[in-house]
Protein backbone atom coordinates (compact mmCIF):
# COMPACT_ATOMS: atom_id res chain seq x y z
CA UNK A 1 0.00 0.00 0.00
CA UNK A 2 2.83 2.32 0.92
CA UNK A 3 4.85 1.48 -2.20
CA UNK A 4 1.84 2.20 -4.38
CA UNK A 5 0.99 5.58 -2.85
CA UNK A 6 4.66 6.67 -2.75
CA UNK A 7 5.34 5.60 -6.35
CA UNK A 8 2.16 6.83 -8.04
CA UNK A 9 1.10 10.05 -6.33
CA UNK A 10 2.80 13.31 -5.44
CA UNK A 11 2.34 15.56 -2.42
CA UNK A 12 -0.55 17.94 -3.10
CA UNK A 13 -2.40 15.64 -5.52
CA UNK A 14 -5.86 14.58 -4.37
CA UNK A 15 -7.38 11.09 -4.19
CA UNK A 16 -10.80 9.76 -3.15
CA UNK A 17 -10.91 7.11 -0.39
CA UNK A 18 -14.10 5.41 0.80
CA UNK A 19 -13.64 4.51 4.49
CA UNK A 20 -15.76 1.69 5.90
CA UNK A 21 -13.25 0.28 8.38
CA UNK A 22 -9.66 -0.02 9.47
CA UNK A 23 -8.17 -0.79 6.06
CA UNK A 24 -9.95 2.03 4.22
CA UNK A 25 -8.62 4.27 7.01
CA UNK A 26 -5.13 2.90 6.40
CA UNK A 27 -5.16 4.25 2.82
CA UNK A 28 -5.97 7.68 4.32
CA UNK A 29 -3.14 7.43 6.85
CA UNK A 30 -0.57 6.35 4.25
CA UNK A 31 -1.61 9.21 1.94
CA UNK A 32 -1.19 11.55 4.93
CA UNK A 33 2.38 10.32 5.41
CA UNK A 34 3.20 11.30 1.79
CA UNK A 35 1.34 14.64 1.80
CA UNK A 36 -1.19 13.28 -0.69
CA UNK A 37 -4.53 15.08 -0.12
CA UNK A 38 -7.55 12.89 0.58
CA UNK A 39 -11.25 13.38 0.04
CA UNK A 40 -12.85 10.72 2.26
CA UNK A 41 -16.21 9.09 1.70
CA UNK A 42 -17.18 8.02 5.21
CA UNK A 43 -19.36 4.90 5.26
CA UNK A 44 -21.50 3.35 7.97
CA UNK A 45 -19.84 0.33 9.62
CA UNK A 46 -20.46 -2.69 7.39
CA UNK A 47 -21.36 -0.60 4.32
CA UNK A 48 -19.46 -0.58 1.03
CA UNK A 49 -19.45 2.41 -1.33
CA UNK A 50 -22.02 2.32 -4.13
CA UNK A 51 -21.09 3.10 -7.76
CA UNK A 52 -23.47 6.13 -7.60
CA UNK A 53 -21.71 7.58 -4.55
CA UNK A 54 -18.35 7.21 -6.27
CA UNK A 55 -19.72 8.85 -9.44
CA UNK A 56 -21.18 11.78 -7.47
CA UNK A 57 -17.99 12.41 -5.54
CA UNK A 58 -15.91 12.33 -8.73
CA UNK A 59 -18.35 14.60 -10.57
CA UNK A 60 -18.10 17.15 -7.75
CA UNK A 61 -14.30 17.26 -7.73
CA UNK A 62 -12.48 17.49 -11.05
CA UNK A 63 -9.06 17.37 -9.35
CA UNK A 64 -9.27 13.78 -8.04
CA UNK A 65 -6.47 11.75 -9.69
CA UNK A 66 -7.32 8.33 -8.22
CA UNK A 67 -9.75 6.33 -6.12
CA UNK A 68 -8.25 4.02 -3.49
CA UNK A 69 -10.63 1.16 -2.67
CA UNK A 70 -10.64 -1.79 -0.28
CA UNK A 71 -12.00 -4.87 -2.03
CA UNK A 72 -12.60 -6.91 1.11
CA UNK A 73 -12.64 -4.73 4.27
CA UNK A 74 -11.22 -7.27 6.70
CA UNK A 75 -12.25 -5.33 9.80
CA UNK A 76 -15.97 -5.73 8.96
CA UNK A 77 -16.15 -8.57 6.40
CA UNK A 78 -17.67 -6.19 3.85
CA UNK A 79 -17.07 -6.62 0.10
CA UNK A 80 -16.84 -3.67 -2.30
CA UNK A 81 -18.50 -4.20 -5.68
CA UNK A 82 -15.39 -3.57 -7.80
CA UNK A 83 -17.06 -5.05 -10.87
CA UNK A 84 -19.49 -2.10 -10.95
CA UNK A 85 -17.23 0.61 -9.53
CA UNK A 86 -14.17 0.13 -11.81
CA UNK A 87 -16.09 0.96 -15.01
CA UNK A 88 -17.77 3.99 -13.32
CA UNK A 89 -14.36 5.47 -12.45
CA UNK A 90 -13.16 4.88 -16.01
CA UNK A 91 -16.35 6.42 -17.44
CA UNK A 92 -16.16 9.61 -15.33
CA UNK A 93 -12.52 9.99 -16.40
CA UNK A 94 -13.45 9.68 -20.08
CA UNK A 95 -16.25 12.26 -19.67
CA UNK A 96 -13.83 14.64 -17.94
CA UNK A 97 -11.20 14.00 -20.63
CA UNK A 98 -8.57 12.51 -18.31
CA UNK A 99 -7.49 9.30 -16.60
CA UNK A 100 -8.63 8.57 -13.05
CA UNK A 101 -6.60 5.70 -11.60
CA UNK A 102 -8.56 2.96 -9.83
CA UNK A 103 -6.56 1.21 -7.06
CA UNK A 104 -7.81 -1.72 -5.02
CA UNK A 105 -6.43 -3.30 -1.87
CA UNK A 106 -7.13 -6.96 -2.70
CA UNK A 107 -4.98 -8.29 0.13
CA UNK A 108 -7.72 -10.41 1.71
CA UNK A 109 -9.69 -11.06 -1.50
CA UNK A 110 -7.15 -12.59 -3.92
CA UNK A 111 -8.05 -16.31 -4.34
CA UNK A 112 -10.91 -15.74 -1.88
CA UNK A 113 -13.53 -13.65 -3.68
CA UNK A 114 -14.04 -13.33 -7.43
CA UNK A 115 -11.55 -10.80 -8.81
CA UNK A 116 -11.05 -9.86 -12.43
CA UNK A 117 -8.67 -6.91 -12.52
CA UNK A 118 -8.61 -6.19 -16.25
CA UNK A 119 -12.29 -6.83 -16.99
CA UNK A 120 -13.30 -4.61 -14.08
CA UNK A 121 -10.99 -1.73 -15.09
CA UNK A 122 -8.81 -1.89 -11.99
CA UNK A 123 -5.49 -0.11 -12.67
CA UNK A 124 -3.64 -1.17 -9.54
CA UNK A 125 -4.37 -4.30 -7.53
CA UNK A 126 -2.32 -5.27 -4.52
CA UNK A 127 -2.15 -8.54 -2.66
CA UNK A 128 -0.03 -10.21 0.03
CA UNK A 129 1.22 -13.68 0.82
CA UNK A 130 -0.56 -14.32 4.13
CA UNK A 131 -4.27 -14.42 3.28
CA UNK A 132 -5.85 -16.29 0.37
CA UNK A 133 -2.44 -17.42 -0.88
CA UNK A 134 -2.12 -19.51 2.31
CA UNK A 135 1.58 -18.67 2.73
CA UNK A 136 3.50 -17.03 5.59
CA UNK A 137 3.35 -13.21 5.89
CA UNK A 138 6.08 -11.08 4.38
CA UNK A 139 5.57 -10.69 0.62
CA UNK A 140 3.38 -8.15 -1.15
CA UNK A 141 2.39 -8.07 -4.82
CA UNK A 142 1.50 -5.07 -6.96
CA UNK A 143 -0.11 -5.29 -10.39
CA UNK A 144 -0.27 -2.15 -12.56
CA UNK A 145 -2.13 -1.27 -15.78
CA UNK A 146 -0.23 0.49 -18.57
CA UNK A 147 -1.86 3.81 -17.53
CA UNK A 148 -0.74 3.35 -13.93
CA UNK A 149 2.71 2.42 -15.19
CA UNK A 150 3.06 5.55 -17.30
CA UNK A 151 1.89 7.66 -14.34
CA UNK A 152 4.52 5.98 -12.19
CA UNK A 153 7.30 6.67 -14.70
CA UNK A 154 6.58 10.41 -14.79
CA UNK A 155 6.59 10.94 -10.98
CA UNK A 156 9.58 12.32 -9.15
CA UNK A 157 10.84 9.40 -7.12
CA UNK A 158 10.07 9.25 -3.44
CA UNK A 159 11.29 6.67 -0.98
CA UNK A 160 14.00 4.13 -1.69
CA UNK A 161 13.28 0.45 -0.96
CA UNK A 162 9.57 1.03 -1.63
CA UNK A 163 10.08 2.91 -4.91
CA UNK A 164 8.31 0.61 -7.39
CA UNK A 165 10.35 1.98 -10.31
CA UNK A 166 13.38 0.08 -9.03
CA UNK A 167 11.46 -3.18 -9.23
CA UNK A 168 10.05 -2.40 -12.65
CA UNK A 169 13.46 -1.55 -14.10
CA UNK A 170 14.87 -4.82 -12.83
CA UNK A 171 11.77 -6.90 -13.24
CA UNK A 172 13.20 -10.39 -13.71
CA UNK A 173 15.60 -10.09 -10.83
CA UNK A 174 15.24 -8.09 -7.68
CA UNK A 175 16.93 -4.76 -6.96
CA UNK A 176 17.55 -5.86 -3.35
CA UNK A 177 18.02 -9.18 -1.56
CA UNK A 178 14.64 -10.85 -1.91
CA UNK A 179 13.02 -12.90 0.88
CA UNK A 180 13.97 -16.11 -0.92
CA UNK A 181 12.36 -18.46 1.61
CA UNK A 182 9.04 -16.64 1.26
CA UNK A 183 9.19 -16.60 -2.52
CA UNK A 184 9.64 -20.36 -2.42
CA UNK A 185 6.80 -20.77 0.08
CA UNK A 186 4.48 -18.75 -2.17
CA UNK A 187 5.55 -20.82 -5.17
CA UNK A 188 4.53 -24.00 -3.32
CA UNK A 189 1.22 -22.40 -2.34
CA UNK A 190 0.52 -21.31 -5.90
CA UNK A 191 1.27 -24.79 -7.24
CA UNK A 192 -1.16 -26.25 -4.73
CA UNK A 193 -3.90 -23.66 -5.38
CA UNK A 194 -3.56 -23.90 -9.17
CA UNK A 195 -3.65 -27.69 -9.00
CA UNK A 196 -7.02 -27.37 -7.24
CA UNK A 197 -8.16 -24.77 -9.79
CA UNK A 198 -8.67 -21.10 -8.93
CA UNK A 199 -12.45 -21.22 -9.43
CA UNK A 200 -12.69 -24.23 -7.13
CA UNK A 201 -10.57 -22.47 -4.50
CA UNK A 202 -12.80 -19.37 -4.57
CA UNK A 203 -15.82 -21.70 -4.51
CA UNK A 204 -14.50 -23.55 -1.45
CA UNK A 205 -13.90 -20.27 0.39
CA UNK A 206 -17.38 -19.04 -0.61
CA UNK A 207 -18.99 -22.24 0.62
CA UNK A 208 -17.09 -22.03 3.93
CA UNK A 209 -18.14 -18.38 4.38
CA UNK A 210 -21.79 -19.24 3.67
CA UNK A 211 -21.67 -22.09 6.18
CA UNK A 212 -20.09 -19.89 8.87
CA UNK A 213 -22.65 -17.16 8.29
CA UNK A 214 -25.42 -19.72 8.60
CA UNK A 215 -24.07 -20.94 11.96
CA UNK A 216 -23.79 -17.37 13.26
CA UNK A 217 -27.26 -16.40 12.07
CA UNK A 218 -28.74 -19.59 13.47
CA UNK A 219 -27.34 -18.52 16.85
CA UNK A 220 -29.21 -15.22 16.23
CA UNK A 221 -26.22 -12.96 15.96
CA UNK A 222 -26.29 -10.14 13.38
CA UNK A 223 -23.63 -9.91 10.69
CA UNK A 224 -21.65 -6.65 10.56
CA UNK A 225 -21.41 -6.54 6.74
CA UNK A 226 -24.28 -5.65 4.44
CA UNK A 227 -22.40 -7.15 1.46
CA UNK A 228 -20.44 -10.18 2.61
CA UNK A 229 -16.90 -11.03 1.60
CA UNK A 230 -15.64 -14.62 1.78
CA UNK A 231 -12.53 -13.59 3.72
CA UNK A 232 -14.04 -13.01 7.14
CA UNK A 233 -17.38 -13.41 8.88
CA UNK A 234 -17.83 -10.62 11.45
CA UNK A 235 -20.82 -10.48 13.78
CA UNK A 236 -22.14 -8.38 16.68
CA UNK A 237 -22.02 -10.17 20.00
CA UNK A 238 -24.99 -8.19 21.43
CA UNK A 239 -25.22 -9.22 25.06
CA UNK A 240 -22.36 -11.75 25.03
CA UNK A 241 -18.79 -10.81 25.96
CA UNK A 242 -16.57 -11.33 22.88
CA UNK A 243 -13.41 -11.59 24.98
CA UNK A 244 -14.92 -14.35 27.12
CA UNK A 245 -16.17 -16.16 24.01
CA UNK A 246 -12.77 -15.96 22.31
CA UNK A 247 -11.01 -17.17 25.46
CA UNK A 248 -13.31 -20.21 25.81
CA UNK A 249 -12.94 -21.07 22.12
CA UNK A 250 -9.17 -20.91 22.43
CA UNK A 251 -8.67 -22.59 25.80
CA UNK A 252 -11.29 -25.33 25.53
CA UNK A 253 -11.33 -26.02 21.79
CA UNK A 254 -8.02 -24.72 20.42
CA UNK A 255 -9.85 -22.37 18.02
CA UNK A 256 -8.55 -18.84 17.48
CA UNK A 257 -10.99 -16.11 16.44
CA UNK A 258 -10.26 -12.41 16.06
CA UNK A 259 -11.63 -9.46 18.02
CA UNK A 260 -12.98 -6.22 16.58
CA UNK A 261 -10.51 -3.47 15.68
CA UNK A 262 -10.90 0.24 16.40
CA UNK A 263 -13.24 2.26 18.61
CA UNK A 264 -16.62 1.20 17.18
CA UNK A 265 -15.89 -2.51 16.91
CA UNK A 266 -13.48 -3.48 19.64
CA UNK A 267 -15.23 -5.38 22.43
CA UNK A 268 -18.41 -5.67 20.37
CA UNK A 269 -17.77 -8.16 17.57
CA UNK A 270 -15.94 -11.36 16.72
CA UNK A 271 -14.38 -12.23 13.36
CA UNK A 272 -13.92 -15.74 12.01
CA UNK A 273 -12.02 -16.52 8.83
CA UNK A 274 -13.33 -19.13 6.37
CA UNK A 275 -10.17 -19.00 4.21
CA UNK A 276 -8.86 -22.50 3.49
CA UNK A 277 -11.13 -24.15 6.09
CA UNK A 278 -12.23 -27.70 5.38
CA UNK A 279 -15.73 -29.02 5.95
CA UNK A 280 -14.69 -30.95 9.06
CA UNK A 281 -12.93 -27.98 10.65
CA UNK A 282 -16.00 -25.80 10.00
CA UNK A 283 -18.27 -28.35 11.63
CA UNK A 284 -15.83 -28.56 14.55
CA UNK A 285 -16.04 -24.78 14.84
CA UNK A 286 -19.85 -25.01 14.84
CA UNK A 287 -19.82 -27.51 17.71
CA UNK A 288 -17.30 -25.50 19.70
CA UNK A 289 -19.30 -22.31 19.11
CA UNK A 290 -22.48 -24.06 20.23
CA UNK A 291 -20.82 -25.26 23.47
CA UNK A 292 -19.16 -21.90 24.12
CA UNK A 293 -22.34 -19.91 23.61
CA UNK A 294 -24.31 -22.30 25.84
CA UNK A 295 -21.79 -21.57 28.62
CA UNK A 296 -22.31 -17.87 28.10
CA UNK A 297 -26.10 -18.19 28.24
CA UNK A 298 -26.94 -18.24 24.54
CA UNK A 299 -28.51 -21.62 23.66
CA UNK A 300 -28.85 -22.86 20.10
CA UNK A 301 -28.75 -26.32 18.57
CA UNK A 302 -26.66 -26.98 15.50
CA UNK A 303 -28.60 -30.25 14.96
CA UNK A 304 -31.49 -28.19 13.56
CA UNK A 305 -29.41 -27.04 10.59
CA UNK A 306 -27.11 -30.00 10.17
CA UNK A 307 -28.63 -31.14 6.88
CA UNK A 308 -28.44 -27.64 5.51
CA UNK A 309 -24.79 -27.30 6.57
CA UNK A 310 -24.04 -30.64 5.01
CA UNK A 311 -25.10 -29.15 1.68
CA UNK A 312 -23.66 -25.64 2.16
CA UNK A 313 -20.25 -26.89 3.23
CA UNK A 314 -19.92 -29.46 0.45
CA UNK A 315 -17.68 -27.09 -1.58
CA UNK A 316 -15.13 -26.83 1.23
CA UNK A 317 -14.45 -30.58 0.97
CA UNK A 318 -11.98 -29.43 -1.68
CA UNK A 319 -9.34 -28.82 1.00
CA UNK A 320 -9.77 -32.38 2.33
CA UNK A 321 -9.63 -34.31 -0.93
CA UNK A 322 -6.19 -33.11 -2.01
CA UNK A 323 -4.13 -33.47 1.13
C1 LIG B 1 -4.29 -8.06 6.05
C2 LIG B 1 -4.68 -6.84 5.32
C3 LIG B 1 -3.76 -5.82 5.06
C4 LIG B 1 -2.35 -5.87 5.59
O5 LIG B 1 -2.40 -5.58 6.93
P6 LIG B 1 -1.15 -5.94 7.87
O7 LIG B 1 -1.47 -5.16 9.10
O8 LIG B 1 0.06 -5.48 7.17
O9 LIG B 1 -1.22 -7.41 8.04
C10 LIG B 1 -4.16 -4.73 4.31
N11 LIG B 1 -5.42 -4.65 3.84
C12 LIG B 1 -6.34 -5.60 4.06
C13 LIG B 1 -7.71 -5.46 3.49
C14 LIG B 1 -5.99 -6.73 4.81
O15 LIG B 1 -6.90 -7.68 5.05
Distance 89 CA to ligand 1 centre (A): 24
Instruction: Fill in the DSSP letter of residue 222.
Output: P
Task: Judge if the beta carbon of residue 80 lies within 6 A of ligand 1.
Answer: no
Closest CA to 124 of 97, 108, 106: 106
Closest C-alpha to ligand 1, atom 7: 23
Task: Judge if the beta carbon of residue 68 lies within 6 A of ligand 1.
Answer: no
- Predicted pLDDT at 83: 98
Return mean pLDDT, the chain. 95
Residue 106 alpha carbon, nearest atom of ligand 1: 13
Task: Judge if the beta carbon of residue 113 lies within 6 A of ligand 1.
Answer: no
Q: Residues 159, 165, 133, 242: is their CA dihedral positive or negative?
A: positive
- Predicted pLDDT at 157: 75
**Any alpha helices (H) in 17-145, and if so which ranges?**
22-33, 51-59, 82-95
- Predicted pLDDT at 169: 75
Substitution site in 74, 125, 273 for ligand 1 pocket (most atoms within 8 Å of beta carbon): 74
Task: Judge if the beta carbon of residue 273 lies within 6 A of ligand 1.
Answer: no
**DSSP string of 127-149?**
EETTSTT-S-S--EEEEE-HHHH
Three-point CA angle 256, 259, 261, nearest 5°: 145
**Rounded Cα distance, 44 and 49, in Å:** 10
Task: Judge if the beta carbon of residue 74 lies within 6 A of ligand 1.
Answer: yes
Which residue positions in the chain have pLDDT lower than 70?
Answer: 170-171, 321-323
**Rounded Cα distance, 194 and 191, in Å:** 5
Q: Are 310 and 214 in contact (CB under 8 A)?
A: no
Backbone conformation region of residue 65, classed left if phi is above 0, alpha if psi is from -120 to 50, else beta: alpha
Q: Are 128 and 107 in contact (CB under 8 A)?
A: yes
What are 186-234's pLDDT values in tens digits? 999 999 999 999 999 999 999 999 999 999 999 999 999 999 999 999 9
Task: Judge if the beta carbon of residue 129 lies within 6 A of ligand 1.
Answer: no
Closest CA to 7 of 167, 244, 181: 167
- Predicted pLDDT at 262: 84
**DSSP string of 151-174?**
HHHHSPP--STT-HHHHHHTTTS-
Amino acid sequence: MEALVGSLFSAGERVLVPVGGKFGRRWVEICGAFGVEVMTLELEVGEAPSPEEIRNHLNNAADIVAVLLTHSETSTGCLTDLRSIGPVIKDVGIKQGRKIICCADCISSLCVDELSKDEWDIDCAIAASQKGLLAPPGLAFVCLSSEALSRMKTRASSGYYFDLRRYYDDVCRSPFTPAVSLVRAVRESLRYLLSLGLDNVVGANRSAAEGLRRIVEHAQFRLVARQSSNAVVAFWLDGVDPLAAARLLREEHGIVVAQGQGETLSGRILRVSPIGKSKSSLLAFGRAFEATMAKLGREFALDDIMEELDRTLEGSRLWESQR
